[in-house]
Structure formats: C-alpha cells, structure tokens
C-alpha cells in the first residue's frame, strides 16, 4: 500500500471508530425491529454472493483511499440515490422519517468516521410511470451515485407481467454504465402486509 499521510495508529483508530459506529447502528436496527423475536425479518432481504463482494470492495476502496491520504472527490463521498414510488418518497410520512432520509442518517456516522460524507437523495415520486422514469436512472439519481435504489414494482410490474421486462433490463443496463458503476438495489412494494403468523 502507498505510504499514508497519518501514522498507522491514527489510521487504525479511525477504522476502529467506524467499526464501533457500524456495530452501534446494526444493534439499533436489530432492537428497533425486534429481530431476536422475529428472525424472519432478516430473510426479507437477500443478495447474491457476487453482489455482496462487489459492494464490500467499493466500501474498502473508499475507506482505504481516505485513511491512507489518497482520497478524491469520488472517495470522499457516498451518494445514495433513491428512486421509486410513494412508498420510498415517504408520502403520508414526515419527511425526516422517510426511507431515504433514515437510511442516510444510519449510514452517516460510520462512514464519516473514515472521512466519507454521506449524501442521500430522494428522487422517488408517487404514482410514476415506468417510462420514461426507469429508462433514465442517471437523470433522476445523478451521475455520481454510488448506490441506486429501485422500488416501483407496485406501479410497474404487479399489473404488467411480461410487458415491462425490457424496461427493467434497460434500468439495470443504464445503471451499470453510470460513471461510478453504482450498486443497484431492488425493493418490492407490491407485497402484501405481513400477518402475525408470517412474522413468527
């Protein structure tokens, strides 16, 4: 690794601080959602092993670049861009409790401990059509997005099975070709509410 501008002790202190912040945030989420009593909550989210490894590499690159004094505009920030429907936009919810805002608030402390500023963008809109919205992730998310979140199955896919596949594919292709090759996150909004039996 290139020589750092700070001592190894200072670098390790920053990394340990970020780790402590991460553990604190994770514990807060586990407690708030009572995961110990409702472990199926953790099964509601999944990603492939490859996606997991790519995401970790992106974080490692940013963290190590910054703590080693090699940071630049791309590594000094982490831009979360949320696209979707009213569910993500936070309609009928106080703005500061919307999903994009809360996610940014939870991610900020550990990343700021290693010099990364978190920016969370809410580009979601209620009752928005698949076209042109899903064909233009760069326009809505911003060319500098590190993560692009998509939640629109209620409007796009729940009622148009077999018709919107090309739009879905184009969203992925457009996202992959954005400047920072963002992690693309998909969230389903067309699922029914869980009942007590499913939570058990």
CB 98 within 8 A of CB 126: no
Give residue 27's pLDDT.
Answer: 95
If DSSP states are collapsed to H, E and C, what string results for 108-137? Answer: HHHHHCCCCEEEEEECCCCCCCCCCHHHCH
Pull the structure tokens for residue 15: 């990394």
How many CA atoms within 13 Å lie on the side-chain side of 14?
Answer: 18
Would the pLDDT of 93 be above 80? Answer: yes
Q: Which two tokens stand for residue 46?
A: 């999944």
> CB count, 10 Å around CB of 53?
11
Q: What is the pLDDT of residues 2-48, one digit of tens each?
A: 445 568 888 899 999 999 999 999 999 999 989 999 988 888 777 88
Task: Let me know: does 44 contact 85? Beta carbons within 8 Å.
Answer: no
Give bridge partners of residue 150 from the DSSP assignment. Answer: 83, 186
CA atoms of 150 and 153, how far apart (whole Å) = 9
pLDDT in tens, 153-191: 777 765 565 667 788 888 889 988 999 999 888 887 766
Q: Is the pLDDT of residue 78 over 70?
A: yes
* CA dihedral over 56, 59, 65, 69, signed as positive or negative: negative
- DSSP 8-state class, residue 51: H
Percent above pLDDT 90 for the chain: 47
pLDDT at 3: 47
CA dist 45 and 47 (Å) reads 7
């Amino acid at each position: 690794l290139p020589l750092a501008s700070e001592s190894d002790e200072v670098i390790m202190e920053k990394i340990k601080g970020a780790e402590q912040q991460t553990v604190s945030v994770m514990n807060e989420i586990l407690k708030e959602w009572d995961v110990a009593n409702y472990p199926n909550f953790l099964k509601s989210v999944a990603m492939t092993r490859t996606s997991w490894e790519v995401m970790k590499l992106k974080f490692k690159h940013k963290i190590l670049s910054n703590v080693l004094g090699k940071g630049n505009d791309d590594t000094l920030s982490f831009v979360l861009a949320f696209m979707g429907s009213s569910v993500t936009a936070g309609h009928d919810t106080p703005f500061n409790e919307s999903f994009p805002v809360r996610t940014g608030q939870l991610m900020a402390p550990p990343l700021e401990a290693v010099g990364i500023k978190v920016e969370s963008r809410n580009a979601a809109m209620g009752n928005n059509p698949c076209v042109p919205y899903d064909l233009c992730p760069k326009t809505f998310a911003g060319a500098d997005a590190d993560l692009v979140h998509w939640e629109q199955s209620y409007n796009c896919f729940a009622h148009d099975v077999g018709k919107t596949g090309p739009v879905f594919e184009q969203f992925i292709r457009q996202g992959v070709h954005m400047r920072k090759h963002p992690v693309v996150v998909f969230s389903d909004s067309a699922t029914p509410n869980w009942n007590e039996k499913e939570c058990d």
